[in-house]
Amino acid sequence: MLRLIYSLLLALVAPVFLYGLFKHKPGKPAVGSRWKEHFGYTPAIDSTVTASSTVIIDTATSHNTTANSSSSSSSSKNKPVVWFHAVSVGEVIAVTPLIKRYLTQHPDKQVLLTTTTPTGAEQAEKLAPEVIHRYMPLDFSFAVRGFLAAIKPVKFIIVETELWPNTLHEVAKANIPISVINARLSERSCLRYQKVLPIFRWLSSKLDRVLCQHADDASRFLRLGMNQEKVHVTGSIKFDISVETDVLFKGKSLREELGTNRAVWIAASTHQGEDEQVLSAHKKLLESHPNALLILVPRHPERFNQVADLCQAQGFSLVRRSEKNNALHSGSAVYLADTMGEMMMLLAASDVCFMGGSLVGKKVGGHNLLEPAAVGVPSITGPSYYNFSDITAQLVAQNGSAIVSNIEELATLLADWLKQPELLRNMGVNAQQVVDDNKGALARTLNAI
């Protein structure tokens, strides 16, 4: 009865969700003709329509990638299919090293990766032809059954905590083992689940194992009554970051371009309403460090032009990374990183990182501080970091990061740190050590699944 009520409610909200998903947005990929996959009309593994035709950006690219996928399909036919689900870009990036190692250890398996969003699909394309992409069916029983009939997976592995009632019910009914890896359960989510405890317990009964990032995540699952034998702490696979030498080299080259004799700080993954605060902090910083440069990286590409206009409206001398002919000079105050896929390089070019999503109230909950830590850059976060509380606590305890309550504290801390290059170097080493000390989650997760 609960599932029936849920399905009726889902039918009511689905049009709104699909409108947002299918609507064309400038600078972002589109679902295009593959919209049927969301309703369970999924091409079988041996079909020629596979992962790399996910997002058609230009005709030439589409033709080439489809050809690659076709050759992959013929080699993958008849292999047992292991289904990974990663909702969007962040989860795809997190699980990519694990999938690559899984395929190395299990060449007899075919990995299929589903995403919900087209940006996630675009990221998943980078794993083709070894990994096949499909869109995740909507959480209607008919759609999930259609997907299962076409794909016939032998395992279902969910990245982080995407628990959809009808999906779990249909997959479990088909006797397909379900694992949740890199599982997170914030205190906020735990309190929400406590209000609907019978529903959570029904959901968790469908899971075979839950591999948690941290001990506090595991304790929350147990608090909600989950079977202790199913819950394990394997660590966060995000700690197993391998920074390519090429990325560090490009970061060093960019820093030489930006200026080695000036203070450079980065505001990474900023959200709507946060850019104004960051620019306010930068204006204050320029009083004590008149040559300082801010690398500003908005979280969502559709906001690049809006943020550029904001910088200019506030009187900042702006350089956009996408405009190669726009020369950087000593008077430039803001470097707008309006490109995709270059975050690690940008971090490697910086002295200190402010992590966005943490100064916009409680709606975001921060972003991952491990990326700056992995390249030896100390970080600062605002007061809202509940999605990464354990990671943040470890970095703060080891003097690799700090928490500020507001924009005034951010400006003051930046001014203080940027006067002390030796302090920043030591903090960067501390942050990197936290990453190194926590590595191994990838191997533990692989052993468990």
Query: Catalytic site residues?
Result: 91
338 contacts 322 by C-beta, under 8 angstroms:
yes
83 contacts 155 by C-beta, under 8 angstroms:
yes
Q: What is the distance, to the nearest Å, from the Cα of residue 176 to the centroid of all Cα atoms in its chain?
A: 26
| Spatial separation of the C-alpha atoms in residues 372 and 382, rounded to whole Å | 15
301 contacts 27 by C-beta, under 8 angstroms:
yes
> What SS3 state is found at 268?
strand
Sheet of strand 231-233, all strands in order from the earlier edge strand to the far edge: 131-135, 110-115, 81-85, 153-159, 178-183, 209-212, 231-233
Cis peptide before 129 (omega within 30 of 0): yes
Q: What are residue 157's DSSP bridge partners?
A: 84, 179
Sign of CA dihedral 256, 261, 267, 268: positive
Cα-Cα-Cα-Cα torsion 54, 55, 57, 63, nearest 10 degrees, comes to: 10
| Long-range CB contacts (within 8 A, 24+) of 339-342 | 340/301
Q: Interior CA angle at 149 toward 5 and 95, to 5°?
A: 85
54 contacts 125 by C-beta, under 8 angstroms:
yes
